[in-house]
Structure 1
Amino acid sequence: MPAIAIIGAQWGDEGKGKATDLLGGSVDYVVKFNGGNNAGHTVVIGDQKYALHLLPSGILTPGVTPVIGNGVVVDLAVLFEELEGLVARGVDVSRLKISANAHVIPDYNRSLDKVTERFLGKRRIGTTGRGIGPTYADKMNRVGIRVQDLFDEKILTQKVEGALEVKNHLFTKVYNRRAVTVEDTVEELLAFADRVAPMVADTGLLLNQALDRGETVLLEAGQATLLDVDHGTYPFVTSSSATAGGACTGSGIPPTRLDRIVAIVKAYTTRVGEGPFPTELFDADGDHLREVGAEFGTTTGRPRRCGWYDAVIARYAARVNGVTDFVLTKLDVLTGLERIPVCVAYDVGGVRHDEMPVNQTDFHHAVPVYEYLPGWTEDISGARSFEELPANARAYVEAVEAMSGARISVVGVGPSRAATVVRHPLV
């Protein structure tokens, strides 16, 4: 049985949570392998809406074991706040497993994230201020704190001392802030030790044994391809690996066990935060997409920047991730438009680029080259087969499929779990 990776194909917010939930009844494990509580999934089940920030969306499916992998950074306060919220709504969270190797976000990294963004001013990245970047930096600098460190106070104290030795110079001498004490940080983290202990496991071993038994493992990305620290629009990216390669390093599952790479792509494009965005709209069309699509961040509430579908980005995502299937979401948001532009290439200083420009400067100056497809006015939210869609909606799906480098297997036609058209089964 397969390991399946679900990846965002744009700048995030494509609807990965819905796709994960769609597959949830067919899989045994759902693994979050990167990021932290800096992004969210909104899942609608019946008349119930769930906003998840740190937890894998598979936690909502009975019988599925949700896993927070080693590639995630964990804000323990947020973790227990989310768990308590779900328990209050009758959700069973007892199966959750957390990697002993996942890094935790201490309070000093949340503070550092916020003051650094303010200090950068116009050069700010547009982070969520939740300490994600500084915690990943600590991981790479080998001064990070892992979940397993909570169970050895001596080691935890030594690691906090090592991290604060440098950070307190930044707080006091650069940012004019008060120094953080080792004692306060150790006390903050130890307060969670007993509660988190029953959830902690060698999740890499757990997942590989599950695959050996013939069970299905779903690997769920936080953020998306264009926010990947290596393959995204650097430096306006996240601090982790959000592509299919990150699914392996962030979970402990080897590449040879990945069977399918499912990329989620919106029928238009959105972005939160700073950075270049070739198809971005600053007119009534952009306002229309934002309002009809409810394009406001699940975690931050920030309005998302909106633009037309970008086939150049989709092709790039297909190549970088080895996409086998696309899930096209929010097709219903385009209903009522007379004609729909689709970006098929970029013009950079008079030179056409059919693929992503190799350098940041060219991408920043890229002007979209559009083709125009006819729109439709019929309500498509009740469609459950491809044939039930209006002819122009079908033509739109087929056209962007031909431009995007992989087949479109699923089409989302509304926010609910049921509002889905399956062209090719994912499992």
Structure 2
Amino acid sequence: MSNTVIVGTQWGDEGKGKIVDMLAEKAGAIVRFQGGNNAGHTLVVDGEQCILHLIPSGVLHEGKKCLISNGVVLDPEVFLKEIDGLAAKGVDVSPARLMISKKTQIIMAYHKLLDNCRESMKSADSKIGTTGRGIGPCYEDKMSRIGVRAADLADPELLRAKIEAALVEKNVLFEKLFNVEPLDPEKVFQDLLPIAERVAPYLADVSSEIQNTIKEGKSVLFEGAQGVHLDIDHGTYPFVTSSNVVAGNAAAGSGCGPRQLERIIGICKAYTTRVGAGPFPTELFDEVGDTLQRVGHEFGATTGRKRRCGWLDMVVLRETARLCDLTEFALTKLDVLSDLDELKICVAYEYRGEKVAYPPQEQNGMAHVKPVYESMPGWKGDITKAKKYDELPVEARNYIARIEELSGVKVGIVSVGPDRAETIVR
């Protein structure tokens, strides 16, 4: 298998975890290259569900290296909770196979407090829908060059000094702006020490691990979180995440060269969903939207929030294809569309009196577009038992063919159910 990057093509929740889990079988290492525990990847193997927020989705495959890279922001408490949960199920989570880059930024208690204080002060129409997990403030400290990195967890004196320095400014904000009690730097330090001791054995040079894996003739699977339209630069700003989600960041976010990225798979849900605030041109507020939400079990794996549902948006997918240079789509949740009489696909937008094929570049421009739809007949019956592409109803195959035609990207993988086995590889 080629070195492969997995990205979400919409606003996250496309089913990346399942596809990563499936492809991990042939990879030597699986790398999580951006984001934090504001994303959840749900895996279903033999009917048993497993939700991961930080640990790469390939961890369920015995003997595979699982690497958390420098592009990630890591909450060490969440990390330890995940490894304890996996260990209880008999999964090997030893430092011999599970590693954290020494350059990975650490989410601190003050990041989470700052995140929640800011969101609570905003009016209802200005909230961006943050998960409140400290992701944004942690990335801010990284860019301000005052962040705590994973390597600092093994250096108590440096760790204490960084905490003290970070809280000089933040405590002024807590006390004077947000009217909350300032944090005691020493208490933050002491609370973190036992956690740091448990995390320290997992620290490694992830760049070298990736390089060595490739030298051994094995492939590397790069796993992204969220979706491209939540990218801090290219998403629906300001309703975005705090990191670069596009495929190109797999190189910078993991410490390898861009020529190592050979295959780029965009995970695409057969319809569109979005969690939290932000523009959503094809959102449905009718019975069809309710059906997609109910049949698709559309609740966020991390927050539990109900996902907004709508028709497939090819403008969004076209933009992702050009931003990430996709080699193929993996189409998920096709089974959710079964038994709908009519399917609609958004093929373009009307924006400022013109028909456009790509999203407008102005801030919040997508809030002012009108989707242009074309209709296709749906299909009836259960498709979850289909093992080959030609076993799908002709209407389902026509739907897939139209996606390929409108995007210029082939659909190489089709998921017809939540389980690992319910997948067709073309």
| Structure-1-length-normalised TM-score | 0.97
Cα 1:65/1:361, change in 2 over 3 Å? closer
CA distance in 2, matches of 1:44, 1:339: 29
In the TM superposition, residue 155 of structure 1 has moved relative to its aligned partner by 1.1
SS of residue in 2 equivalent to 1:315: helix
Native 8 Å contact 2:238 2:363 kept in 1: no
Which of 402, 406, 411 aligns to 1:403? It is: 406
Of 170-179 and 84-93, deviating more is 84-93
Native 8 Å contact 1:325 1:409 kept in 2: yes
CA distance in 2, matches of 1:179, 1:350: 52
Aligned equivalent of 1:97? 99
Native 8 Å contact 2:315 2:358 kept in 1: yes
Aligned equivalent of 1:117? 119
**1:20 has 2:20 as partner:** yes
**1:373 has 2:381 as partner:** no
Aligned equivalent of 2:184? 181
In the TM superposition, residue 215 of structure 1 has moved relative to its aligned partner by 1.1
CA distance in 1, matches of 2:137, 2:364: 26
**1:304 has 2:301 as partner:** no
In the TM superposition, residue 249 of structure 1 has moved relative to its aligned partner by 1.1
Which of 326, 348, 351 aligns to 2:329? It is: 326
Cα 1:361/1:128, change in 2 over 3 Å? closer
- Return the letter of the residue paired with 2:312: Y
Superposed CA RMSD: 1.0
4+ long deviations beyond 6 Å: none
- Return the letter of the residue paired with 1:82: E
Structure 2: gaps spanning 5 or more residues: none
SS of residue in 2 equivalent to 1:360: coil
- Identity score, percent: 50
Of 250-259 and 188-197, deviating more is 188-197
CA distance in 2, matches of 1:201, 1:76: 15
- Return the letter of the residue paired with 1:66: C
SS of residue in 2 equivalent to 1:399: helix
Which of 386, 391, 396 aligns to 2:389? It is: 386
Aligned equivalent of 1:360? 363
CA distance in 2, matches of 1:288, 1:242: 29
Aligned equivalent of 1:106? 108
**1:165 has 2:168 as partner:** yes
| Structure-2-length-normalised TM-score | 0.98
SS of residue in 2 equivalent to 1:332: helix
SS of residue in 2 equivalent to 1:263: strand
Aligned equivalent of 2:43? 43
In the TM superposition, residue 406 of structure 1 has moved relative to its aligned partner by 1.0
Native 8 Å contact 2:29 2:66 kept in 1: yes
Native 8 Å contact 2:14 2:268 kept in 1: yes
Native 8 Å contact 2:222 2:250 kept in 1: yes
* Equivalences, count: 423
Native 8 Å contact 2:378 2:395 kept in 1: yes
CA distance in 2, matches of 1:71, 1:185: 24
1:33-67 per-residue CA deviation (whole Å, 9 max, x = no partner) reads 11111010000000211011111111111121111
CA distance in 2, matches of 1:55, 1:203: 14
Which of 293, 297, 308 aligns to 1:294? It is: 297
- Return the letter of the residue paired with 1:412: S
Native 8 Å contact 2:237 2:364 kept in 1: no
In the TM superposition, residue 350 of structure 1 has moved relative to its aligned partner by 2.6
1:237-259 per-residue CA deviation (whole Å, 9 max, x = no partner) reads 00011111211111001101111
Aligned equivalent of 2:260? 257
Aligned equivalent of 1:190? 193
In the TM superposition, residue 375 of structure 1 has moved relative to its aligned partner by 0.3
- Return the letter of the residue paired with 1:26: K
- Return the letter of the residue paired with 1:86: L
Matches within 5 A, 1:239-278: 239-278=242-281
Native 8 Å contact 1:2 1:257 kept in 2: no
- Return the letter of the residue paired with 2:409: A
Native 8 Å contact 2:36 2:73 kept in 1: yes
Of 352-361 and 410-419, deviating more is 352-361
- Return the letter of the residue paired with 1:2: S
In the TM superposition, residue 361 of structure 1 has moved relative to its aligned partner by 4.2
CA distance in 2, matches of 1:27, 1:318: 24
- Return the letter of the residue paired with 1:183: E
CA distance in 1, matches of 2:397, 2:63: 36
